[in-house]
Every structure is written in C-alpha cells, then in structure tokens.
Chain A
Amino acid sequence: MGRVIRSLRSFGAFWYDFVIGDDWHVAAVVVAALALTALVVHVAGVNAWWLLPLCVIGALAWSLHRATAGRS
C-alpha cells in the first residue's frame, strides 16, 4: 500500500514538474487569463485578443522578478 502511494506521488510529482515547472504562479496566471478572456468574449461580447498576451508578458516579468529578487 505504502509503495503504491509512493509511486503515485512520484508519478504526480513528475507530471507537476513536467507541466508546471519551477514557478506555479506562471501556470496560474495563464489559466486565469484564459478563463477571463473566455468570460469577456462570451459574456461581455468584447473581442479581447489583447488580454492573454498582456497577461503572458506580465507573468514572465513577474516570475523573473521573483526568481532574481535579492540575488543580484
């Protein structure tokens, strides 16, 4: 039983590292931005093509700032 749980844990950890990587905030921002874009497009009827690129760029800059703050 313990071995099965350990295997499942390492399997989950592998896929987490593979898809999410070092900074889960980036993934969270991308998913939230896509959800917001879908809402704005389908509910408000605005063709918000600019929203996701802005969030992607913001996520990159934020992640870099977090990774380098205090390490110069």
Chain B
Amino acid sequence: MFVACAVEAIEALTIVLASGLTRQWRSTLQGMAVALAVLAVVVAVVGPTITLLPLGALRLIVGALLAIFGLQWLRKAILRATGYKALHDEASAYLREVAAAKQAPVSSRRGVSDWYAFTLSFKGVLLEGLEVVFIVITFGDNQRNLGAAVIGAAAAIVVVAATGIAVRAPLSRVPENALKFAVGIMLTSFGTFWGAEGAGVSWPGSDAALLVIVPAVAAVSLGCVAWLRRGRAVAAANAEPAAPAEAPPAHAPSAHAPSAEASPARAGSADASPAEHAPSSEGMVR
C-alpha cells in the first residue's frame, strides 16, 4: 500500500514542482488543495458505500478490478524493463512540464491568479491521486479496515511531499520502474486471490495461499522479462550479419539499448505517452 501510493505521489510531486517553480506557487497549491479535497470526498463517499456490498460480491468485483489494474502495471513494467517501452523518467517528465509551463500565457479566472498553474496542478494531483484512491478503497474495503489503508496512503504522501520540499526537485533517483514492477505483482496477486474467492473458490491453505501466489506471479513476471530480453538479443544477433560490411558498426542497434521501435514517439502504439503543451498531465499518468 505504502509503496504503491508513494509511486503515484512521486509522479504528482513532479507535476506540482514543475508548476510551482516555473509558474506560481499560490495557484499551484490552490489546484493541489482542491484536488486533494475532491479525492477525500471520493474516499469518504465511495469507501463506506462499497462496504454495504456482501463480502463475496465485493471480493469478486474488487478482485477483478485489481487483477486488471495490476496486470496493466505489470505489463508496462515488463515492457519498460525489456526496452520495448521507454522508461518512466521523472527528470525528463519534469523538463517537459517546465518547458510547456514556460510557454503558456498567464491568465486569471474564477479568482485564481494563474489558471494554467492551477489546472496543471489540479489535474496532476487528481489523476495520480485517483489511482491511490482506487488502491486504498479496494484494499481497505476488502480487509474491512479502510482507516488503516487511508493512514498507509497518507503516510506515503507525507513522506514523498516532505522529501520533495526538502530537495525542491523531482525524485528521479527513486527506482520508480522497479517499484512499479513490485506493485504490479502485488496488485495482480491480491486481485487474483480475492477475485477467485469472490467467485466461490476456497484457496488451499486459506490466506497462506498468498505466500505462494505472490512469488509465483513474481517468478512468471521475471521469466517474461528474461524471455523478451532473449528475443531482442536473438533478433539483434540475426540482424547483424544482414548489415552491409561498409556500414559503421557504431550505429548498429544494441540488444539492450532501447531501439527506435522502443521509443514511444516512434512506436505509434497506444503505449505512447506524448508530451503535451496543453495544461494536461494525462501523458504522465502511470
């Protein structure tokens, strides 16, 4: 819970810092405060409402959502680990946001002196925060302990915010991709466990089954990383003899370096996260 929320908080922090340091702190903090208030209302309303469902139905729905959500994280983490998708880099994400923030004109609306800074901060915190809210509600409601889940998430956000204020820079040294890999494994494992329970399954060993499911999902994921890396290495080795002898070897693509296809800008796939100049942070989500 703590790690999952910390990862999202780091991404939100990058956007808030880019907005605050480049534009105006007052409007940035206003946007952040409004987004946090919206998220708090969502937790306060949706959290207790979902607990009204019978435990079986709750676990079936939450398990399905968590498994789908976790597989999304895991899929992206594996594609990033193998060079098929560009690594999520907070430093470059920060530079993109700063460049866009510097270009945007200052305009005042609805009592906010810098509307761009407000909306950038609001959207960034709200979108990243929705993932935290999703994890908090699903884990908290399933364990019938929403309070503990909220405390865990709040602790992660406080730690990340305090670190960000201290260093006044994006937390690019945090191994974010490795953390996302780990979170993907946990979400997928718990989603599988609860989803199957909701469907009527009795796990051998009851809750202790998680001690097998989590390592099994981790082993399969690491196996997928090895399988894809090997595929890239074999493809690169097969491509080398076909290159003309005069071609300078320095330009030959490495098996481990992200290739042109691996770049989201060239891949043209749904995975691509285009840097946008509009005050939007969707491209940075997840």
A residues with a Cβ closer than 8 A to B are 18-23, 26-27, 30-31, 34-35, 37-38, 41-42, 47-49, 51-53, 56-57, 59-61, 63-64, 67-68, 71-72
- Taking the complex as formed, is B236 at the interface, i.e. its CB lies under 8 A from any CB of chain A? yes
Are the C-beta atoms of A60 and B224 separated by less than 8 Å? yes
Among the interface residues A31, A48, A60, which one has the most CB atoms of the partner chain B within 10 A?
A: A60
Q: A51: which B residues are within 8 A, CB to CB?
A: 196
- Taking the complex as formed, is B2 at the interface, i.e. its CB lies under 8 A from any CB of chain A? no
B residues with a Cβ closer than 8 A to A are 60, 63-65, 67-69, 71-72, 74-76, 78-79, 82, 84, 130-131, 188, 192, 195-196, 198-204, 209, 213, 216-217, 220-221, 224, 228, 231-232, 234-236, 261-262, 267, 269-271, 286
27 A-B pairs within 8 Å (CB atoms) are namely: A19-B65, A19-B69, A21-B72, A22-B75, A22-B270, A23-B75, A26-B68, A26-B75, A30-B68, A30-B195, A31-B64, A34-B60, A34-B63, A38-B200, A41-B200, A42-B200, A47-B202, A49-B201, A51-B196, A52-B192, A53-B213, A53-B216, A60-B221, A64-B79, A67-B84, A67-B269, A72-B236
Q: Which of B188, B192, B224, B235 contacts A64 (CB 8 A)?
A: B224
Main secondary structure of the interface of A (DSSP, over half): helix
Are the C-beta atoms of B67 and A67 separated by less than 8 Å? no
A64 to chain B: closest CB distance in Å? 6
With A34-B64, A38-B199 known as contacts, the answer to whether A49 contacts B72 (CB < 8 A) is no
Task: Report how far A29 CA is from B86 CA in the complex, Å.
Answer: 26
Task: Report how far A60 CA is from B222 CA in the complex, Å.
Answer: 12
Starting from the known contacts A37-B200, A52-B196, 15 additional A-B residue pairs (CB-CB under 8 Å) come to A22-B72, A22-B76, A23-B75, A30-B195, A31-B64, A37-B196, A41-B199, A49-B209, A52-B199, A53-B192, A60-B74, A61-B224, A68-B231, A71-B262, A72-B235
Task: Report how far A68 CA is from B188 CA in the complex, Å.
Answer: 21
With A64-B78, A67-B269, A68-B228 known as contacts, the answer to whether A41 contacts B188 (CB < 8 A) is no
Q: A52: which B residues are within 8 A, CB to CB?
A: 67, 192, 195-196, 199, 201
Q: A37: which B residues are within 8 A, CB to CB?
A: 196, 199-201
Q: A21: which B residues are within 8 A, CB to CB?
A: 68-69, 72, 75, 286
Task: Report how far A52 CA is from B202 CA in the complex, Å.
Answer: 12
Task: Report how far A27 CA is from B82 CA in the complex, Å.
Answer: 23
Q: Which of B75, B203, B236, B271 contacts A49 (CB 8 A)?
A: B203
Are the C-beta atoms of B79 and A68 separated by less than 8 Å? yes
Are the C-beta atoms of B199 and A20 separated by less than 8 Å? no
List the 9 closest A-B pairs by CB distance, nearest first: A72-B235, A41-B200, A21-B72, A38-B199, A37-B199, A52-B196, A49-B201, A71-B261, A27-B68
Q: B195: which A residues are within 8 A, CB to CB?
A: 30, 34, 52
